[in-house]
Structure formats: C-alpha cells, structure tokens
C-alpha cells in the first residue's frame, strides 16, 4: 500500500498531527527514532476510529511506503535532531520529494537545510504549527514557507487539516523557505505579549480592584463576549474556577509558583526586532517579565530591602476600574499586534518575502493560541490598505484607541502610583504616545551624538547635513554637505 504522506517524530505534536491527517482521509505512514511511539500511534489510530495510519520502525521502509513525489513532515525537537533526521531520511529520497519541518525552528536553519537539499532536487519547507496538542489533532494554524513547488505539493493536505474559519482554512502560502518559520516566531512573540498583558490585568484587578478568583472568572468570561474575545481570555476565565487538585483550600492558581518557563521563540522575536530596527516593546516587556519571574530568590530578598509607595493605595470604584482595565488591555493588544505585523513586514522587505499581512491575521483566527475576534478587524485593515504603515492609524483601530486612551492612562497612572508593575501595558502606552507625536525629544539625543561623536544632524528649517562645534573653544564648521 502506498501512503499519501509520512510523519516522522511522534511526540506530542507529531502523533496528533499524524492522526489529524489520517482523519482527513490521507493514508499516513509514521516513524520515530524510538519504536515505542510508533506502536502507541498505531494503537491510537485504531482506537480513534480505525484511521488509515501505518507504523514503520525502519526509516527506509517508512520512506519506501510513500507515493512519489514523497511528502514527509518532520516533527522532532528543533535544532540538531532536525539535521540528523534530514540526513538520515534524505539518503532514501529522490529528486522531487519534499521534506516539511513542522517544528519551531530558527528561520536561517531552514534556509540552510533548503540549500543543502537543493543540489539533490529535494524540496524543503519550514512550516510553523500553532495550537499545541489540541490544535495539532483538531486543526492548527499552519504557517508554511517553502521552495517553489513545495506548497502545491502540501496544499491538498494542509488546507484540509488546518483549522477552518469563516473565510477559509488557517493556512496560506506565506512565501520562500524561512518565511513560515518567521511568521510562527512572531506569532509566538505576540503570544508572550498577550499572556503578559493578561497577567498584568489580573494583578491590577486583584491588587487594586480587590477582585476574588470568582469575580476574576466572571470578569474574564464576560470579556470573552467583547472586543477582547480570544482563546487566552477564555482559558483565563476557566483557570480562576479550577479548585486545587491536591486538596488544598481555594483555587489551584493561587498555589502555582510565580516563575514562568520558556522555550526561546519569544527571545528570537526580540532579537529579530532589534535586527530589523522594528520596535517591539510589548513583546520585549513580556520577555523581561519572564526573566524577572525566574529570579524568585532574588525577588524575595529584594522585597525586604526595596520600598514601594508610602502613600495609601488609591481607592477605586470596582465596576469602573474593571471597565478601564478592559479598555487598557484592548489598546495594549492593538499596539502589540501592530508591532508584530510591522516586524513581519520589515523582515519581509529586507529578505525579499512579500508577505501578505491580511492573510497572516486571517490564519491566526483559528487553531492557534493567539486566536482572537479582533484578528478579523486586523485582516480587514490590511486588506483595505496593504501599505498601511501601522495598524494604529487604520480608521477602525485609531477610533477604537482614541476613545479608550483616557481609561488606558488612568490604569497606567494607578499602577504607577500604587507600585504595581504593568510593564507591557505601560510600554504599549509609551509607544502609542511616541508614535502619535510629530515631534519627539530625539533632537536632543541627536545633538548629544553630534557633540561627542560628530555624528551630524539634519535641521527642521533647511536641507542639508550639519555639524556644529558645541563649545566656545571650537569654531562652528557649518553645513557638511556644503563643505564636501
Ligand atoms: P519535542 O520537541 O519534545 O521532540 C521530541 C521528538 O524529537 C521525539 O519524537 C524524539 O524522538 C525526537 N528526537 C529527538 Br529529542 N532527538 C532526535 C534525533 N536526534 N533524531 C531523531 N529524532 C529525535 O516534540 P514536540 O513537543 O512534539 O514538538 C515538536 C516540534 O514542534 C518542536 O519543534 C516544537 O518546538 C514544536 N511545537 C511544539 C508544540 C507543543 O505544544 N509541544 C507546539 C507548537 C510547536 P524519541 O521519541 O526517539 O526521543
């Protein structure tokens, strides 16, 4: 029997994505380094409706079971395991076959692998998969970027296996190799930002608003019916209702240590934002918050040394405060997504990937962790104006922001005077206040650069490039352009 597609790597993601493909009618061959997982997957396929899935313990048999041109999805740990797997499998492949790496991979690694395989005529694709275990099984958001012809080979499978939303499957041909990994990386950075901003709203509502877990659950659940409707808001509402599972009184959330782990894709996003000169302060604040959270012992020691505000915490009207926090969260989210979209565009321009931002927003509407109602509005904004310089100046979003800035400011102000850190929400407001100003104090920064380094400056009142001797001991030397 010839199989339609192969899946190598049967941990959480691979096993579930293999079953997803089989459920959509594709005959799937599966293989894994440790043979036990092959048996587990075959058992699951039987148990979940006798799905068309065949297990192979020998990679050569696995490859030979596939119809040509062969399509193999790899879902092993990113980095060296992917190189090892490609080296192993490619020995059995022929020109025209395709390898798809579905892991969270650093995009230059995908580009390097594509180059390595090109002389053999083997196609390569890096495809970000979002949605975790459940998404992989029931329909993830798929972000493919591949060699010419690669998408066409995978299209019949991935358009069926991706999450389906009102305007189609949550996938599209993002562009060349690396672009799919890049979009997935930014997706993960946005995810960091969303999670941090929600954590900040929780802190503010609890510390300043005095909301109990029951009230927090009600608040987040009701927010899920508003412009904030999203997967992360929905699960947050549920988290506050979960009783402790070890028999301690109250809710589990109160017993979880305040240390956040991470696997590195958020850090890549910030490294890339710096590389592309693209502001990403919300995601950077979220990354910093994770680093600070990890230093639990230091924080506990510092608590006894460093003082917070001495003035009494201002009293708040609970209902009004909840409304303000909702507005602040929405505005901050808009800033974060604007920064993520701009980063994708900057990279796309520099790397020669003409990525469709409206389509990126659309494929995040379902299946993935950042799925949210307002992604439809983001899609529309970029559809109406693909050259939109910033989501903030889209007519819909600018009006949403402008009508909420007073609430946003009240929340940040209250956080500051109360000594409650809200780094992502505050950073978002600072970005908004910088971006909306035609004049910034950067004139002074540039003057300093010219003072100590002769870096020159432009003037507001005349053309040219200028340098000045800033102390009386030196003579002004005038317009550099005129001198040269
Ligand atoms: P893991 O990232 O935990 O990797 C485990 C798999 O890698 C196993 O199949 C293991 O084989 C295989 N493997 C390793 Br480790 N070293 C290998 C080697 N040298 N050669 C061959 N196989 C090797 O699996 P995962 O959590 O399913 O994630 C897979 C990819 O998807 C990763 O890139 C991950 O970042 C990404 N991702 C994960 C999630 C998630 O929620 N887990 C979500 C989105 C994306 P073995 O069984 O023989 O040890």
In sequence order, what are the residues at sequence separation of 6 or more whose Cβ sits closer than 8 angstroms to the Cβ of residue 410?
Answer: 324
Distance 133 CA to ligand 1 centre (A): 12
Phi and psi at residue 99, to the nearest 5°: -110, 130
Please tell me whether 399 is known to bind a ligand: no
Find out whether the beta carbon of 262 lies less than 6 Å from any atom of ligand 1.
Answer: no
465: tokens are: 């490039």
What pLDDT does 480 receive? Answer: 53
| Euclidean distance between the first and the last CA atom of the chain, given in angstroms as a whole number | 76
pLDDT of 476 higher than 90: no
Tokens representing 439 are: 């004049």
- pLDDT tens track for 399-444: 999 999 999 999 999 999 999 999 999 999 999 999 999 999 999 9
The 10s digit of each residue's pLDDT in 301-360 is 999 999 999 998 889 999 999 999 999 999 999 999 999 999 999 999 999 999 999 999
pLDDT of residue 475: 52
Query: Residues 22-63: pLDDT tens digits?
Result: 999 999 999 999 999 999 999 999 999 999 999 999 999 999
Quick one: pLDDT at residue 1?
59
Q: What percent of the chain has pLDDT over 70?
A: 97
pLDDT of residue 474: 54
**Whether the CB of 104 sits within 6 Å of ligand 1:** yes
What value of ipTM does the predicted structure carry?
A: 0.98
pLDDT of residue 201: 98
Long-range CB pairs of 457-466, under 8 A, 24+ apart, other chains included:
none
To the question of pTM greater than 0.90 for the whole model, the response is yes
For residue 307, give both structure tokens: 């003082």
* Nearest alpha carbon, ligand 1 atom 19: 81
Residue 15 in contact with ligand 1 by CB distance below 6 A? no
* pLDDT score recorded for residue 149: 97
Task: Give the long-range contacts of residues 55-61, CB within 8 A, separation 24 or more.
Answer: 55/29, 55/30, 55/31, 56/29, 56/30, 56/31, 57/31, 58/31, 59/8, 59/31, 59/88, 59/89, 59/92, 60/92
Position 482 confidence tier, pLDDT thresholds 50, 70, 90: very low
Domains of the chain and CATH, by start: 5-176 (3.40.50.720), 184-435 (1.10.1040.10), 442-483 (1.20.5.320)
pLDDT band at 222 (very low <50, low <70, confident <90, very high): very high
Exactly one of 23, 147, 184, 200 is catalytic; which is it? 184
């Amino acid at each position: 029997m010839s199989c339609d597609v192969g899946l190598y790597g049967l941990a959480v993601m691979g096993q579930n994505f293999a079953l997803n493909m089989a459920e959509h009618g594709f005959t799937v061959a599966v293989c894994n380094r440790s043979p036990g997982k092959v048996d587990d997957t075959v058992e699951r396929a039987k148990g979940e409706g006798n799905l068309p899935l065949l297990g192979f313990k020998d990679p050569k048999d696995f490859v030979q079971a596939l119809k040509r041109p062969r399509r193999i999805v790899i879902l092993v740990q990113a980095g060296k395991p992917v190189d090892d797997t490609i080296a192993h499998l490619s020995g059995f492949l022929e020109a025209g076959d395709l390898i798809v790496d579905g892991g969270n991979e650093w995009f230059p690694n995908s580009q390097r692998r594509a180059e390595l395989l090109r002389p053999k005529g083997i196609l390569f694709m890096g495809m970000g998969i979002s949605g975790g275990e459940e998404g992989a099984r029931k329909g993830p958001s798929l972000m493919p970027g591949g060699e010419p012809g690669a998408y066409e080979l995978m299209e019949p499978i991935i358009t069926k296996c991706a999450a389906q939303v009102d305007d189609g499957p949550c996938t599209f041909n993002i562009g060349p190799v690396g672009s799919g990994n890049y979009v997935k990386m930014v997706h993960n950075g946005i995810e960091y930002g969303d999670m941090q901003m929600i954590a900040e709203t929780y802190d503010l509502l609890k510390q300043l608003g005095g909301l109990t877990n029951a009230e927090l659950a009600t608040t987040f659940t009701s927010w899920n019916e508003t412009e904030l409707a999203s997967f992360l808001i929905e699960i947050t509402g549920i988290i506050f209702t979960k009783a402790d599972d070890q028999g301690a009184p109250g809710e589990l959330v109160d017993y979880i240590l305040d240390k956040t782990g991470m696997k590195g894709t958020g850090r890549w996003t910030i490294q890339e934002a710096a590389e592309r000169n693209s502001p990403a302060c919300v995601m950077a604040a979220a990354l910093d918050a994770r680093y600070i959270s990890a230093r639990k012992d230091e924080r506990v020691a510092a608590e006894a040394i460093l003082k917070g505000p001495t003035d009494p915490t201002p009293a708040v009207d609970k209902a009004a405060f909840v409304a303000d926090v909702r507005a602040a969260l929405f505005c901050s989210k808009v800033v974060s997504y604007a920064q993520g979209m701009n980063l994708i565009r900057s990279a796309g321009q520099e790397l020669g990937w003409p990525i469709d931002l409206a389509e990126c927003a659309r494929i995040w509407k379902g299946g993935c962790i950042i799925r949210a109602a307002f992604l439809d509005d983001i899609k529309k904004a970029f559809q109406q104006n693909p050259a939109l310089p910033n989501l903030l100046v889209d007519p819909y979003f600018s009006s949403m922001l402008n009508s909420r800035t007073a609430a946003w400011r009240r929340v940040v102000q209250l956080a500051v005077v109360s000594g409650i850190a809200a780094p992502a929400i505050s950073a978002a407001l600072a970005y908004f206040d910088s971006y909306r100003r035609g004049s910034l104090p950067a004139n002074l920064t540039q003057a300093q650069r010219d003072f100590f380094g002769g870096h020159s400056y432009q003037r507001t009142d005349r053309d040219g490039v200028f340098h000045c001797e800033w102390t009386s001991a030196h003579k002004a030397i005038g317009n550099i352009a005129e001198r040269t």
